[in-house]
A and B are shown apart, each in its own frame.
Chain A
């Protein structure tokens, strides 16, 4: 799975299949702080994601 981190402008490749909320837990990311996007669409925390997906984590927190 390819995960793009908007805030850090990084991309990581990892092995994962399961729910979005479990992916975020594995990445130690609080769901309050990101919006999860796959194929240009927002996906909810209970959505299943596959190992061949490309996921973008948009940062909720911005500004000063």
Chain B
């Protein structure tokens, strides 16, 4: 098959290598413009893991001329995180991007591996709570936090939230997360939201981003894994399924966000750490309280 733009051989989606790269970058640029994700004078920090999505986000935001830095969270997941952080350090050195790494063990005195052993929770739950806490804590002097969430991530979350009967969580999805801007929270943006995971992988390969294949050691335990497999099976039989789900999500979001804005609970300061929360203690401090109680036993 030939490239739909030139006569060279197509490698994916009817594009040759050169025009695939061009189309991918143009898609990201248009997404940023369409949803006003970040203004030229704003400082952006990328929540970076060292995987293909965050490296692509870092690379493109820098290429497009934004003031960008990287923030990585080291949960202490042995056999996984040390490898991705090595890739990230190398990448940030190569492209002269400032990088800060924040570790669970320094902030909370414990790694995720240890939390998993002590508490009877699926690891993704405490991991998500504590990662979000640290991303928020260390992003306050930036205008935006960019994540590498791609189309597959967004559609998987949409399906998961619908299955769990949580429209309130769906309302928080989209190119800019959250229902409304709130003091104490840096807005989060997803520049890759229109790009499929396969497109990101191809882009990272063509640009020569050096990545070891890595997958979180806890991933087999996740519900998301099952949803991902199901959606990929559907996409194989019915191409365009994932894209259509995303477009329908975008259509729903304005109504959902408006609806849930009316029900938004005013934030107050966590009595333990001072971070914004709807309750007395934030989710991270509630978790820390659970860990303290386990330690006493």
**Is B a genuine binding partner of A?**
yes
Tell me the total A-B contact number using a CB cutoff of 8 A: 68
Given A31-B236, A43-B11, A7:B202 Cβ within 8 A: no
Interface residues on B, range: 20 to 34
Q: Is the Cβ of B51 less than 8 Å from the Cβ of A58? A: no
A7–B211 CA distance with the chains assembled, in angstroms? 12
B58 to chain A, nearest CB (A): 15
| Interfacial residues of chain A within 1-51, with CB under 8 A of chain B in the complex | 6-7, 9, 30-33, 35, 37, 41-44, 46
Cβ contact within 8 Å between B236 and A63: no
Give the total of A residues in contact with B, Cβ under 8 Å: 21
A59 at the interface (CB under 8 A from B): yes
Decide yes or no whether B82 CB sits under 8 A from chain A: no
Which residues in window 127-169 of B have CB below 8 A to A? Answer: 127
Q: In the complex, are the beta carbons of B213 and A59 less than 8 A apart?
A: yes
> What are the residues of chain A within 8 A of B235 when measuring CB–CB?
32
The CA of A35 and the CA of B205, in the complex, are separated in Å by 9
Decide if B275 is an interface residue (CB 8 Å cutoff): no
Residues of A close to B233: CB separation below 8 A = 30
Residues of chain B within 8 A of A33, CB atoms compared = 198, 232
Contact B215 A61 (CB under 8 A): yes
Which A residues lie within 8 Å of B10 (CB)? 44
Q: How far is the CA of A9 from the CA of B211 in the complex (A)?
A: 14
Q: A30-B232, A64-B80 given as contacts; is B201 within 8 A of A44 (CB)?
A: no
C-alpha spacing A6/B79, complex, angstroms: 16
Residues of A within 8 A of B216 (CB): 63-64
Given known A-B contacts A63-B49, A64-B80, A64-B219, A42 and B202 have beta carbons under 8 A apart? yes
Q: Is the CB of A42 within 8 A of B228?
A: no
Alpha-carbon distance between A64 and B235 when the two chains are bound, in angstroms: 21
B218 cross-chain contacts in A, Cβ below 8 A:
64
Q: B250 at the A/B interface (Cβ < 8 Å)?
A: no
* Other 11 A-B pairs with CB < 8 A, given A42-B17, A58-B213, A59-B213: A7-B215, A30-B232, A31-B236, A42-B206, A44-B1, A46-B1, A59-B201, A60-B198, A62-B51, A64-B216, A64-B219
Task: State the B residues within 8 Å of A (CB).
Answer: 1, 9-12, 17, 49, 51-53, 77, 80, 124, 127, 197-198, 201-202, 205-206, 211, 213-216, 218-219, 228, 232-233, 235-236
Question: Closest 6 CB pairs between A and B?
Answer: A64-B216, A32-B232, A63-B51, A42-B11, A60-B201, A60-B198
- What are 16 A-B pairs at a CB distance below 8 A? A6-B213, A7-B213, A9-B213, A30-B233, A32-B232, A42-B11, A46-B1, A58-B201, A61-B197, A61-B215, A63-B49, A63-B53, A64-B77, A64-B80, A64-B124, A64-B216
